[in-house]
Chains A and B, each alone.
Chain A
Amino acid sequence: MAAQDTSKQVTRRRERLDRGIKVRSEDIYALNSWREALYLLAPRALPVVALVLLQLLAPEYWQRVLISTTVFALLAISWDLAASSGMVCLGQALFFGVGAYLAGIMNHYLGLPPGLTLPLATLGGGVICTVLLLPVLRLRGIYFAMFTLILPLMIERIIEATKVFGGTEGLSGLTPFSHPLWESFLTMTALWVALFGLRRIMASDYGLVLKGINDNDRAVMSAALNIYRYKAQALFLASATGAFAGAFMTHSYRFVGMPVFALDYSILPIASAAVGGLGTLAGPALGAFILVPLSEMLRGLGGLRIVIYAVLLVVFTVGLPEGVFHYLRRKYTQFERWTEVGK
């Protein structure tokens, strides 16, 4: 069939049509059959159910991997939220590290239980990171990014030089979570709250303003909107998400030290976003769920691990430049068919 077409030199192109829902008025879906309800619910419910089952059924080692994957997914969401609001960060480690140290400090010096340190570190981390970055909110693109890259490295050196908070030794022997199951369900809940909550915010008119700032901040200013207020708010949401991830890891490892400001925590969220697809929050989270387990699976390979990992990263970004999530969503929501174009 295809061979015949080429001989006749008929140009063909792929046509995409929205699968769409039958009854849809404005933003209210009028669902009139279980199939339509399922069509909407399945892509949202499936990952939630799958993660719960994995957490319950996987061997203990992979349960640990799953927890750290979820933490990286939170960081990736945090990165994507800031990036969607026009703030490209190279220092997710700042959010992560500040949250981690806050929880550690509150637990070690004040003896607060995780039930208190987690929410306090989340809010406090959000406030501290936002205040730290307030002076550079006016900077755009690479200039803002440079500043976020430098801050965590600077804090790391300050801790090393002044020997505060345990210095290079860090703080160890912190309170663990009471039960491993509680630990894993806490991360999962945090992930779904962050993912669905922030996605909802981005889909609202408030989110439109944030996207507008990313697209063209001068146009937003000319629309009588104080972009710095909105950027600060988005930054707070993003850094609080990152700070929770850090605070959680502190109690999970029962330790907090300088490594929480390491570059890994800055780079992996960006790699996840590149693999998963920017601007959807779900994409980067999906990216983290591909990259972190992948890196664990390659652990047996020794020195070649990084090489293979890097090659796979290239394959992903070159093969699917739009990102895995965008690709899957397109396949799910659109028909594709070949049509002939008259020559």
Chain B
Amino acid sequence: MTQSAPQPPRDETILSIEGLTKRFGGVTAVDDVSFNVKRNELLGVIGPNGSGKTTLVNLITGFLQPSAGRVTLKGQDITGGPPYRTADLGLARTFQMVKPFYQLPAFKNVVVALFSPRVKRLAGGAYGDRDAVAKDLLEEVGFERDSWVINKQASVLPHGYLKRLELARCLALRPEVLVLDELFSGLSLAEVASLVPVIEKLMVQGMTIIMVEHRLKELFRIANRVLVLNFGQKIAEGVPAEVMAQPKVRGAYLGSESED
């Protein structure tokens, strides 16, 4: 069951979430959620549909203004964005509903991200050949380099490639924290199996990753720690196997607790 144990994360807290709350009118989508993410850790965020996972991602990455709470990245307050500032400070995200630039060729999608001031800063002021870097990045996430696919307009790419494109656009920023919002959703088993090594490689390179996932089996193989949301509240946090053994987590998934 448990495969080769992931490397023990270093102890420095890179991202800290304190009392994050979001109310939409009368509905509290995210309710007083707090947690810390350590450097080079892979944290899974799971929970049933509508439990507030994507809202949480939007709050962390600055796409939504929280009603209360604080988000701190490396000691810097990034609560409420704006999203481009959050990304500029090194926290990149993918979207669950893929958001490619449909009218652009696949590799040009990545070039847009390579154009950002962050990339220029990290490269020491020189951009270099963005087209070539974009193609390298696409190859890294599983595009076949010599095929015509990287030149294809994003609007004709299949879903699996669009998910990879999302990931490549994030990696272009050379982020320190990566938030993957249901990267595996809508992918075949084979596609997920080919993406897992990509993520494992990122972990080896020292990336910190938050993965919001529904595909628990695949997630548990790579996650150091998981956090369970239900009705916007954090109901459990810990090592995958232990968390899933808890009755309230099983209840949340099987719907025995407060199903209407």
Contact = CB atoms under 8 A, between A and B. Distances in A.
Interface string B60-88: 01010000000000000000001110011
Contacts of A224: 84, 87-88, 92, 113, 116-119, 173
B112 interface: yes
Contacts of B35: none
B227 to A, nearest CB: 22
A35 to B, nearest CB: 26
B23 interface: no
A293 interface: no
Contacts of A205: 111-112, 114-115, 130
B112 A220 contact: yes
A251 B131 CA distance: 46
B250 interface: no
A295 interface: no
Contacts, number: 87
Contacts of A220: 112
A215 B104 contact: yes
Nearest to B154: A215
A222 B108 contact: no
B82, B101, B116, B173 — which one has the most chain A CB atoms within 10 A of its CB?
A: B101
Interface string B91-106: 0110100011111100
B22 to A, nearest CB: 17
A19 interface: no
Interface in B24-70: 61, 63
A139 interface: no
Given A26-B131, A205-B111, A223 B100 contact: no
SS of A interface (majority): helix
Which among B61, B63, B83, B172 has the greatest number of chain A C-beta atoms within 10 A?
B83
Given A222-B93, A223-B172, A208 B84 contact: no
A212 B112 contact: yes
Given A224-B117, A224-B118, A225-B116, A218 B83 contact: yes
B164 interface: no
A215 B111 contact: no
Q: How large is the interface on B (under 10, 10 to 19, 20 to 34, 35 or more residues)?
A: 20 to 34
B112 A227 contact: no
A26 B134 CA distance: 14
Contact of A221 (B87, B103, B109, B170): B87
B169 interface: yes
Contact of B83 (A209, A214, A222, A279): A222
A209 B112 contact: yes
Contacts of A212: 101, 104, 109, 112
A219 to B, nearest CB: 4
Contacts of A215: 100-104
Contacts of A231: none
Contacts of B131: 26
Contacts of B63: 218, 221-222
A226 B85 CA distance: 8
A219 B87 contact: no
A222 B95 contact: yes
Contacts of B83: 218, 221-222
Nearest to A216: B99
A221 B88 CA distance: 10
Contacts of B114: 205
Interface string B127-147: 000110000000000000000
A223 B131 CA distance: 16
Contact of A206 (B82, B115, B170): B115
B104 A208 contact: yes
24 contacts: A205-B115, A205-B130, A208-B111, A208-B112, A208-B115, A212-B109, A212-B112, A215-B101, A215-B103, A216-B99, A216-B100, A218-B63, A218-B99, A219-B169, A221-B87, A222-B87, A222-B92, A222-B170, A223-B113, A224-B88, A224-B113, A224-B117, A224-B118, A225-B84
Considering the complex of A and B, which 6 residue pairs feature the smallest CB-CB distances, nearest first?
A: A224-B87, A223-B113, A219-B99, A224-B116, A215-B101, A221-B83
Interface of B: 61, 63, 82-84, 87-88, 92-93, 95, 99-104, 108-109, 111-119, 130-131, 169-170, 172-173
Given A215-B102, A224-B87, 8 more contacts: A208-B101, A208-B112, A219-B95, A223-B87, A223-B115, A225-B116, A226-B84, A279-B103
